[in-house]
Structure 1
Amino acid sequence: ATRAWLVEGAIPRLLATLEMLPEGGRESRILELGSAPFFTSLCLDRMWPGQVTRANYDGTDAKRGSQQLLNVEGGADRVYEYDLFNVETDEFPYADETFDVVLFSELIEHLALNPVWALSEIHRVLKKDGHVVITTPNALSLERLASYLTGGSEMVDKYMPLRGYGTRHNREYKPAEMRELLESTGFDIDALVIRDLGAFPWYQRVRRAVAKVILRFWSRQPRDTHIFVRARRRDPFRWHFPDKLYDDMSMYALLRHPWVEMGVNDEIQCGPGWDALEDWREWGGYVRRARGKLLQALRMPATVYLRGQEGARRAVARVRVTVDPPRPTVGVRLRVVPFHGDQRLGERAVEVQPAEWHEVSVEVSGTVGARDELELQLEIEPDVEAVLKRAWLD
């Protein structure tokens, strides 16, 4: 009975989801995240012309799993094999630019930690101009509003300790939030549709229509039940955490790359000592500023974080300095230490001309591995300001 209820409720959503898929060919590859209970998998078997890769998460250390489905007579029908990983904490076990489409259906609302991580991995495994298709409940739907007005929860489910992590809805999205999350990170939206699902009896359809008309006097937000999005990969992926969705991210660090570029991954790889991001279009992009007086008062350098790169021998920073009062040259000191460590792996002081861009480098002692985590520290004098565009291991 439970499965019959699930199937009946899923059919309208499945049809709407399949309508959002781009056209595929025999060589097209699609990744279906959160494929259990395999309703969408059964549909893809019949209508997707290319290869389907499935993924789930069961809370164990297992890397692979399988599920045998039964037909209506109770006999064995087919077996689905799938990869096992956590989409918001693990690196997906696929090479860069593997898939033409990633299907992220009825999953993002279950994430409890970091949807931007999941989107970064989706972006990475998508081919250039590949698509992600996302479906999720609308947090502004009439059902959510009615629940809130009658004393229920407007956005999330009750706690479900017996079912474990990821079962309940942790965060449902408004259409504008979904648009901002995708467009601010690395996707261009081809289609965003909000529509009602379910076969409502005539009196409920009338009641819903009247409620929508009345609510439009106060708000023109869409009140249908579900959001469907098809978005195209746009390079580069930008690590950005929208204020409406994230809080207390100032100290968040995630060493993902052997480089840091302002406006791309500075939100996860810039440490203390920097001002907020500035848009210097006349200088070719975004920068962050370090102020010598502030660094002196805090008794700390301006720091960026770098993930190790095999064979790297030096760290490089592209900087531009200004000084008041003016003088011909300005001293800049670079230092490399382990992440949250104090052992000096390299240090160099150089004199540079103000108001010009310079690539300042420092040799790194020893062997740098891909698993190493480093800090590149910048020190300047109190009367100096420095702007950083990019830093990297070379």
Structure 2
Amino acid sequence: MTKETFRSILESFPAQGPKEKAYIRLAIDRMWLTLQHLPRGTGTEHLMDVGSGSGLMGPAYIKMWGYGQVSLLGYDVEAEGELVFSDQDGQSYRFPTHQANIELDRFPVPDESVDTVVCTDVFEHLIFDPMFAMNEICRILKPGGVALLSVPNAVSDEVLTFLLNNRQPGFLRNYLSDALMDGSRDLGTVYNLGHFHEYTAPELAGLAKACGFEVQSLSAFNYREPEFNDLRFRLMKRMVGWLWPRSVRLRGEELVGVFRRTSYTPLDQLPDRYPRPLYSRMSRE
């Protein structure tokens, strides 16, 4: 199937408001390229979308990637309910929903009950403890289950051009006024203000390994035209590659990792509870 089929499935989602329509318009290329890394199902597997928002992606997981069951978990879904609807083709869907703040609340999901977890562009919004969320993902996955995570790449070539233009070195490091206009000043507002921590490849891999995953793949891609792309910046990017030919830095805008669960250890028993370089300490002890 093609990206246009993918777009059509997303646009047929019945609960679309202005927010969902804007998201499809802005993020369709990123979502499509990210999901090229998603293992295909055989019609029986259970996929959980963590940080799923409205559940927009659910029908695509079934129609295009062959999953048999999809459930949704996040801060803004119904607590222990169901999302039931039919698309424009008349196909009916029933997605169980589970409400949780993924870095503070134990997921209301049984141990080893999910085959695949998808968590796209969520971890960069976490402000407290990403290890908590990753450890919960590990807990609910079956042995050998797979987690697909994507995050903005904090050290992409595009970030280098931002620095040279006196810009913040990241993709959403400014305050989003949309999140402030209704007057709310709560935790939900904070999560929607922008990106708290954008990741490097070693940080994302270290997070997964510390929780009992092995890295199946870790790559980066670009999904839009560079903001700064005149001859000077194209030459700069080539020179960086020439001057540091052995650099292991992934240079695309978006990092995507596929991680396989090999073991699970409760959070407070992990030997590397606060893995570096993602975590650091003020003291030298």
1:14/1:40 contact within 8 Å kept: no
Larger Rg: 1
Give TM-score, length-normalised by structure 1. 0.54
Q: Distance in 2 between matches of 1:146 and 1:131?
A: 34
User: Is residue 20 of structure 1 aligned with residue 37 of structure 2?
Assistant: yes
For 1:20, what is the secondary structure of its paired residue?
A: coil
- Cα distance, 1:29 vs. partner? 0.4
User: Is residue 170 of structure 1 aligned with residue 196 of structure 2?
Assistant: yes
For 1:159, the equivalent position in structure 2 comes to: 175
**Cα displacement string for residues 112-159 of structure 1 (whole angstroms, at most 9, x for unaligned residues):** 010100111001000000000001111112332222332322135223
**Cα displacement string for residues 338-362 of structure 1 (whole angstroms, at most 9, x for unaligned residues):** xxxxxxxxxxxxxxxxxxxxxxxxx
Q: Distance in 2 between matches of 1:109 and 1:40?
A: 19
For 1:232, what is the secondary structure of its paired residue?
A: strand
For 1:118, the equivalent position in structure 2 comes to: 133
User: Is residue 224 of structure 1 aligned with residue 252 of structure 2?
Assistant: yes
For 1:54, the equivalent position in structure 2 comes to: 72
Deviates more, 1:231-240 or 1:45-54: 231-240
- Cα distance, 1:185 vs. partner? 2.7
For 1:54, what is the secondary structure of its paired residue?
A: strand
- Cα distance, 1:70 vs. partner? 11
User: Is residue 214 of structure 1 aligned with residue 231 of structure 2?
Assistant: no
For 1:185, the equivalent position in structure 2 comes to: 211
Instruction: Give aligned pairs, total.
Output: 244
For 2:42, what is the secondary structure of its paired residue?
A: coil
Q: Distance in 1 between matches of 2:137 and 2:243?
A: 37
1:133/1:231 contact within 8 Å kept: yes
Give TM-score, length-normalised by structure 2. 0.73
Deviates more, 1:47-56 or 1:108-117: 47-56
What is the identity percentage for the equivalent residue pairs of Structure 1 and Structure 2? 26
Q: Distance in 2 between matches of 1:29 and 1:224?
A: 30
- Cα distance, 1:63 vs. partner? 2.3
- Cα distance, 1:25 vs. partner? 2.4
For 1:123, what is the secondary structure of its paired residue?
A: helix
The aligned amino acid for 1:198 is R
**Cα displacement string for residues 202-249 of structure 1 (whole angstroms, at most 9, x for unaligned residues):** x94977653321122444323211111111002143353123221338
The aligned amino acid for 1:240 is R
Q: Distance in 2 between matches of 1:6 and 1:18?
A: 16
Q: Distance in 1 between matches of 2:46 and 2:86?
A: 26
The aligned amino acid for 2:238 is V
**Cα displacement string for residues 319-342 of structure 1 (whole angstroms, at most 9, x for unaligned residues):** xxxxxxxxxxxxxxxxxxxxxxxx
Choose the corresponding residue for 2:79, options 63, 84, 92: 63
For 1:196, the equivalent position in structure 2 comes to: 222
For 2:57, what is the secondary structure of its paired residue?
A: helix
1:309-388 to 2 correspondences below 5 Å: none
Give the aligned CA root-mean-square deviation in angstroms.
3.2
1:88/1:118 contact within 8 Å kept: yes
- Cα distance, 1:183 vs. partner? 1.8
Q: Distance in 2 between matches of 1:109 and 1:211?
A: 27
Structure 2: runs of 5 or more not aligned: 1-17, 181-187
Deviates more, 1:210-219 or 1:170-179: 210-219
Q: Distance in 1 between matches of 2:241 and 2:155?
A: 13
User: Is residue 247 of structure 1 aligned with residue 272 of structure 2?
Assistant: no
Q: Distance in 2 between matches of 1:8 and 1:240?
A: 39
Q: Which has the higher contact order (CA 8 A, sep 6+)?
A: 2
For 1:326, the equivalent position in structure 2 comes to: none
Q: Distance in 2 between matches of 1:81 and 1:193?
A: 31
Structure 1: runs of 5 or more not aligned: 251-275, 277-394
For 1:164, what is the secondary structure of its paired residue?
A: helix
The aligned amino acid for 2:71 is T
User: Is residue 89 of structure 1 aligned with residue 98 of structure 2?
Assistant: no
- Cα distance, 1:4 vs. partner? 4.8
For 2:5, the equivalent position in structure 1 comes to: none
Q: Distance in 2 between matches of 1:97 and 1:205?
A: 50
The aligned amino acid for 1:136 is V
Q: Distance in 2 between matches of 1:223 and 1:125?
A: 32
Q: Distance in 1 between matches of 2:196 and 2:26?
A: 21
Q: Distance in 2 between matches of 1:71 and 1:45?
A: 12
Q: Higher helix proportion, which one?
A: 2
